[in-house]
Amino acid sequence: MAIIAPSLLAANFLELSNECEMLNKSEADWFHLDVMDGRFVPNISFGPMIIEFIRKATTKTCDVHLMIEEPEKYAEEFKKAGADILTVHIEACRHLHRNIQQIKALGMKAGVALNPHTPVAGLADILHEIDLVCLMSVNPGFGGQKFIPFTLEKIKQLRKMITERGLNVHIEIDGGVTLENAQSILYAGADVLVAGSTVFKAPDPIGMIHQLKKL
């Protein structure tokens, strides 16, 4: 069964406590938390301070997606804020191996995110060191964008790499996931679905999470 990770980027922040309660009651597995710095991506979202509050509002896994430059400067702060999984972008890490060791040494699971244009082949020598690959299916920076179809091919390639090596690495798809395309994403080999707008803009978010979970 797929892991469902609603992205709080699409939540109503004036109602953050209620939004967290809703996710707690739902079949959502992880809280996906999108951190943007206005440099790596053309948008600014929230940082460790907000995550610290969210951490207190849930016992579910906090899956923190860093869309920031120099993530190594902040890894410790995100650990303190309560991150369980810390994902950095391959495009933002000149010393990816070191960054991953740092995240793991801090006691978090390590994820690597790839922009749509970045080939999965770039993970060949690091795959055995990581817990999760986040394949971006939109250009990061904003919620509510349209799924880029060629991502499906990347999922298949990555699943093949993981299976051939007998590894246990999550494949997370992030961006433009809907009830309509989720099945083909899972069929291609992903096991974690991030969904922002699809969950939070639905008339019945708990029902929507249930539908995604059922696939």
Residues that bind ligand DX5 (CB under 6 A): 7, 9-10, 32, 34, 65, 138, 140-145, 174-177, 194-198
Q: Which is nearer to ligand DX5, 97 or 188 (CB)?
A: 188
In the complex, which residue's CB is closest to ligand DX5?
Answer: 196
Name the binder of 197 from ligand DX5, Zn ion, none, CB < 5-8 A by kind.
ligand DX5
Specify which residues 111 forms β-bridges with: 87, 132
Q: Which is nearer to Zn ion, 44 or 105 (CB)?
A: 44
Neighbours of 158 (CB within 10 A): 22
Among 22, 30, 65, 200, binds Zn ion (CB under 5 A): 65
Nearest to 137 by CA among 120, 160, 162, 161: 120
Q: Which is nearer to ligand DX5, 83 or 164 (CB)?
A: 83
User: What are 66's two structure tokens?
Assistant: 């860093």
Contact 50, 75 (CB under 8 A): no
Residue 201, CA distances (Å) to 85, 197, 206 in order: 25, 5, 11
**179 alpha-carbon distance from chain centroid:** 18
Name the binder of 145 from Zn ion, ligand DX5, none, CB < 5-8 A by kind.
ligand DX5
* 174 has catalytic annotation: yes
User: What are 39's two structure tokens?
Assistant: 């440099």
- Tell whether residue 174 is a contact of Zn ion (CB under 5 A): yes
Neighbours of 97 (CB within 10 A): 11
Contact 40, 89 (CB under 8 A): yes
Specify which residues 173 forms β-bridges with: 135, 193
Among 19, 34, 91, 131, binds Zn ion (CB under 5 A): 34
Cα(87)–Cα(99) distance, integer angstroms: 10
* 34 has catalytic annotation: yes
Measured from the CB of residue 171, what is the shortest distance to Zn ion in angstroms?
A: 14
Name the binder of 118 from Zn ion, ligand DX5, none, CB < 5-8 A by kind.
none
Q: Which is nearer to ligand DX5, 158 or 199 (CB)?
A: 199
Catalytic annotation, pick one of 34, 37, 63, 131:
34
List interacting residues with Zn ion (CB under 5 A).
34, 65, 174
Name the residues annotated as catalytic: 34, 174
